[in-house]
Amino acid sequence: MTEEVKEWWELTARWFQDDIDLDVGVNWTGMSADNDLRLLLDVAGKDVLELGCGGGQCSVALAERGANVTGIDLSTEQLAFARDLSDERDTDVAFRQGDVTDLGMFDDDSFDVAFNAYVFQWVEDLAACFREAHRVLRSGGRFVFSMPHPVYGLADPESHEIEESYFDTGRQVTPQDDLDVDMVTYRHSVADVHNALVGAGFRVERMLEPGSADPDDYEEGPWGEHRPELLAKLPSTLIFEGRAA
């Protein structure tokens, strides 16, 4: 991750956590822990790594399920929130500061499971991240993650008309009127993600696009970015399951 991404999170972590107010759980869709989907299966006794743990809601949830959890994040502010949450819930999670594209602090074959929810839009070099995830996973280890679906953000939330190109991948800058630092994210096509996984040595076992055609099945996000009528037309979340060879 770049320094500008880190700077963004150091400035906004507390505001973000207050506004999003996530429940403890694995928030695959980025909106609520209700849609857990049980993708990680039984993690009791497993060594689990969360890549980009943010406020720790997912890490704490898995620790409560009996996993031995390590969470890594770029932001000291996010990690401070995560440690406070872990203390409040009386869980034992090892939180470490670091970049998901360089997991040199961990030995090869250290974990049974690696995962994250809604992190990889902040990562420019997915290939490096996936190679590192594969390295620290034991043979047969599972890698599960969700991210914003690249098609959802292309449509205008009011008109539903496509306003951006799916092929305009890479660095995306969203100006912030009330901050000195703009929000920088990275758009990856579905093919980019899939091919980076295969190139890192993973066997892709499943890809999911959770959603419903009924607008009543959705609620708006905390900042109005999740529009029920649009969510009923386009997937907002992309999930991959892979296994280390």
pLDDT at 128: 97
Q: Determine the 3-state secondary structure of 35 from DSSP.
A: helix
Cβ(241)–Cβ(145) below 8 Å: no
pLDDT of residue 223: 67
DSSP state of 155: B
Write the CATH number for 65. Answer: 3.40.50.150
Tokens, residue 27: 């928030």
- Output the tens digit of pLDDT for each of the chain's 245 residues: 578 899 989 988 988 888 878 889 888 886 654 456 578 989 999 999 999 999 999 999 999 999 999 999 999 999 999 999 999 999 999 999 999 999 999 999 999 999 999 999 999 999 999 999 999 999 999 999 999 999 999 999 999 999 999 999 999 998 887 777 889 999 999 999 999 999 999 999 999 999 999 999 888 776 666 899 999 999 999 999 999 98
Residue 15: its pLDDT value, please? 85
d(CA 191, CA 44): 33
The parent domain of residue 173 ranges over 3-244
Alpha-carbon distance of 43 to 169, in angstroms, equals 35
Rounded Cα distance, 129 and 23, in Å: 27
Instruction: Evaluate whether 238 touches 190 at the Cβ level (below 8 Å).
Output: yes
pTM of the model as a whole: 0.93
Per the structure, how many domains does the chain have? 1
Helix (H) or strand (E) holding 14: helix 3-20
Q: Which two tokens stand for residue 176?
A: 């912030």
The DSSP call for residue 22 is: P
* Backbone φ, ψ for residue 76 (5° rounding): -65, -35
Predicted pLDDT of residue 214: 94
Burial 4-30, CB ≥16 within 10 A → b, else e: ebbbbbebbbeebbeebebebbbbbbb
How far is Cα of residue 115 from the mean position of the Cα atoms in its chain? Answer: 8
